[in-house]
Each structure stands twice: as structure tokens, then as C-alpha cells.
Amino acid sequence: MHLDTIVALATPPGVGAIGVIRVSGPKTIELVNEVFKGKDLTSVKSHTIHLGTIRDGETIVDEVLISLFKGPNSYTKEDVIEISCHGSQFIIQQLIKLLLRKGARLAKAGEFTQRAFINGRFDLAQAEAVADLIASENESMHSAAMNQMRGGFSQEIKNLREELVHFASMIELELDFAEEDVEFASREDLKKLINNLKALIQRLTESFTLGNAIKNGIPTVIAGKPNAGKSTLLNALLNEEKAIVSDIPGTTRDVIEDVINVDGIAFRFTDTAGIRTTEDKVEAIGVERTMSKMKAASVVLYLIDMKEDQPEDVDKEIAFIKDLGVPYLLIGNKLDQAKPAVQKQLEDNNALLISASQKQNLENLKEALKELVSLDDFKSGNTIVTNLRHYESLMQTNEALDRVITGIDQEITNDFLAMDIRNSLHHLGEITGEITTEDLLDNIFSKFCIGK
């Protein structure tokens, strides 16, 4: 039970046309009503909006709109008021200070959402999706978060849990009848069930690679010999992006730095510092650092210099990149000044031919990039795990299930078997929040912004 009434600015700090101050808790209506001049808020209906002024004694602080939601039909399931005021820093500060003086307390980061979770509005995985939704920067991040928030992921976890609970209760029933040596659950059936669960968990954990890529951008590396045109290409790709984004006021360069969006998929160019500095120029292919950075990437754009490279070098480079075991695009650069023999060689290897400096064929390059990453799972609307915490819990569930299978094979006693099953249930419960600790909750919600 939360007795505090909390308040925070819900819109971003800074000057805006309007600012929204959110208040939630048992005293919300009474407290705002004390400073509001307009309708008597204690006698209005839920989900209504009211124009009036907020006054500090005789001083009018602002003319505002009050949106009123009565619990449990609100975001937090408590009484909630959102005050839309003029978006001046000064006004916002005055309003918040006034409410604090009247007895509200400043909300901690994520506290509104934390209350929504505690009051049962949604489970933990859904609450976490709210943070992802707010942070979503492109279409794929948005739909993964939206699916999770709407409970797609939670439902899969719930189904898993239900099957396991059934399983556990059978085993525990057998424990009750231990003297009689009965077997309610055929061990073969149980193993089948567990293997089904493991397959589902595997699908979910495998989706994390994609989920992580969606959330953080697909790690992409541009590689190639010194002077192949790596930084020219990177700048060409990024500049285009910046040109689009810089039209939107308030977007900082930092946010989009080294990320390009292709049809809603973010490609994050990693280790680009190396490309930009001259230090990289001394690196030849095969150098260990280049190798490891390419192997760590999900996608490698490998540039070959069609102007300077000799055909025999090109053969070596192609063999090298094919061997690397990472999805790659073979790209012939400097199409404007290519040696015909080398160009032919690259065409024979289905390379994409571009000119980075002339910005030629860059659209095709982006198209090819998009096709390189398999997003089938994503398109089919399958559940995708995007959260590291969920991924770790799934892995732990899987380990516990492995122990159950080994246990069955080694015919260990039912009480140990039941313990391992309970253990898998525990880890699944961590995902949706049936099992929580204060530390875990603090850790999750502190990552939210204040006011959410």
C-alpha cells in the first residue's frame, strides 16, 4: 500500500509549448484541488478535463488544464492528475514546489510505472517494455517494445509456467504417495514436455541476438585495406542520415552518431574511431585487432580498392573475407576510377560496386545490408527477447530444466526432481515479476526517467 502522493514533470525538462506535471496517490485530488481554482475537483467524474488557474495564495501561477483519472482506471491504478501548464521552466518549478509544500513527494525515477506494476496493472516484463517504448528510435524497436508491452512475451512465459506447474504438482503428488510407489506422471511424457519447453526457451533465447540488435543497433564494421575508402563511405552513409535528422529540432548529433537507419533497422557502426584516425592506416588485413573486431560484428562491409589493388591481392582478400564466418558484403569501391580487370573480378564474385566519394550506388548498398540480416522472425510477429535480464532468466530456466532431465535419467528421488522444477519456475517467475526482490525492482525502475 502506498500512502505517499508523488509528483513529477512528465514531459522533458526544458522549454516547450506545454509541460505536463503528473501527480499520483491517495491524496492527489484533494491536494491539487487545494491550489486549483475552477471546478471542485473532488466532485467531478473520472476521465474529465478542467480549465482553471493554479494559485499560490493570491498569486496566479498559471492557467492550466487538469486531466483527472480516478483509480483504478489510471496508469498507476491510483488517483492520477495530469496538469498541463505552459512549458516554462519557472512555471513548472513553481507548480511542483507548490504541490510539494501541500504534501506531495517528488517521484523517483520510474516510480509511476513501478506503482502500476505493484498495483497489478501489468507484469514486470510489460513495465520494462514501457521504458523500451519511450526509448524506441525506429520502427523495429518500437514494434518489439509494443509487442512486449501488450503482453505477447508475458503470455509465452505464462504458458511455459503453467505447463511446468502442472508437471511439478504431479511429481509432488507422487511424493505424497511415496509409500505406495505410484507414478502419476509417466517419466517419458515428462521428458517430452520438458523437451518442448526447452525448444520454446531456445527459440526465445535465440531471438535475443536479434532483439539485442534491434534495441542497440546491429553491430556493423567497415573493413578493408588502408585507403580503400572506409571513412569516406562511413561519412557518406552518416551524413545522409544527419541531414535528415538535423531538421528535427532538439535532436542531438550524439544520438545518431555512427548509426544509420535502413527501413527501420538500426545499423551501429562500431569501432569507427579507428577508421577515422590515421592510426588505422598502418593496419593491414590479417592484423589481429582487425580480425577480432570483424569477428565481433554481426555484419562486415568489406571494401576493396578497385583503383589501387592488384588482382592477386584481391583474390587473397576475397578468400580471407569468405573464411571469416561473419555475414559480409563484398564491396568494390572507387567505381569511378576502377581498373577494368579488378572490376571484372569483383563482378564475378557478386560484389556490390560503389563509389564512396561520388556517393554512387549507396542506396543499393543499404538495400543489400538490410537483406543480409535475417529479420524473418521479426516480420512474422514472433516474440523477440530484447532484454538482457529476461535472456539471463531464460538461460537459468534452461539449466534447471537440464538438471530435471538428467535427474529423470538418473532416477533421482522425487523430492530432488521437484526441487529442480521449482527452481526453473523460480527463474521464469523472475521475468514477469511473480518473484522479485527489492534490489531487482530498484534496479529496473531506476533506469526509467523521472516522471514515468
What residues make contact with ligand GDP under the rule CB under 6 A? 224, 226-232, 275, 281, 307, 333-334, 336-337, 355-358
Contact 393, 433 (CB under 8 A): no
DSSP at 337: G
Closest approach of ligand GDP to the CB of residue 307, in Å: 6
Closest approach of ligand GDP to the CB of residue 225, in Å: 7
Contact 24, 1 (CB under 8 A): no
Contacts 24+ apart (CB under 8 A), 254-262: 255/137, 258/234, 259/217, 260/366, 261/137, 261/138, 262/366, 262/367, 262/369, 262/370
Closest approach of ligand GDP to the CB of residue 288, in Å: 19
Nearer to ligand GDP, 233 or 259 (CB): 233
What is the full DSSP assignment across 16-52? -SEEEEEEESTTHHHHHHHHEESS-GGGSPSSEEEEE
Closest approach of ligand GDP to the CB of residue 365, in Å: 12
Closest approach of ligand GDP to the CB of residue 369, in Å: 18
Nearer to ligand GDP, 336 or 363 (CB): 336
230's grid cell: 572506409
Closest approach of ligand GDP to the CB of residue 335, in Å: 6
Nearer to ligand GDP, 353 or 417 (CB): 353
Contact residues for 404 (Cβ-Cβ < 8 A; gap 6+):
194, 417, 420, 421, 424
Nearer to ligand GDP, 14 or 226 (CB): 226
d(CA 397, CA 375): 26
Nearer to ligand GDP, 183 or 336 (CB): 336
Contact 61, 39 (CB under 8 A): no
Q: Is 174 helix (H, G, I), strand (E, B) or coil?
A: helix
Nearer to ligand GDP, 77 or 307 (CB): 307
Q: Which one-letter amino acid corresponds to residue 250?
A: G
Show the CA angle centred on residue 174, arms to residues 169 and 177, nearest 5°.
Answer: 135
Closest approach of ligand GDP to the CB of residue 341, in Å: 17
Closest approach of ligand GDP to the CB of residue 326, in Å: 19
Closest approach of ligand GDP to the CB of residue 355, in Å: 3
Q: Which one-letter amino acid corresponds to residue 382?
A: N
Nearer to ligand GDP, 209 or 358 (CB): 358
Closest approach of ligand GDP to the CB of residue 12, in Å: 37
Nearer to ligand GDP, 298 or 361 (CB): 361
The full length of the chain comes to 452
Closest approach of ligand GDP to the CB of residue 348, in Å: 20
d(CA 380, CA 98): 51
Q: Tell me the backbone φ, ψ of residue 451, rounded to 5 degrees.
A: 95, -10
Nearer to ligand GDP, 281 or 447 (CB): 281
d(CA 112, CA 450): 9
Contact 95, 54 (CB under 8 A): yes
d(CA 444, CA 123): 13
Nearer to ligand GDP, 28 or 232 (CB): 232
Q: Where are the alpha helices (DSSP H) in 330-437?
A: 340-348, 362-372, 376-379, 388-409, 414-432
Q: Which residue has the cell 534496479?
A: 443
Nearer to ligand GDP, 272 or 432 (CB): 272
d(CA 138, CA 150): 18
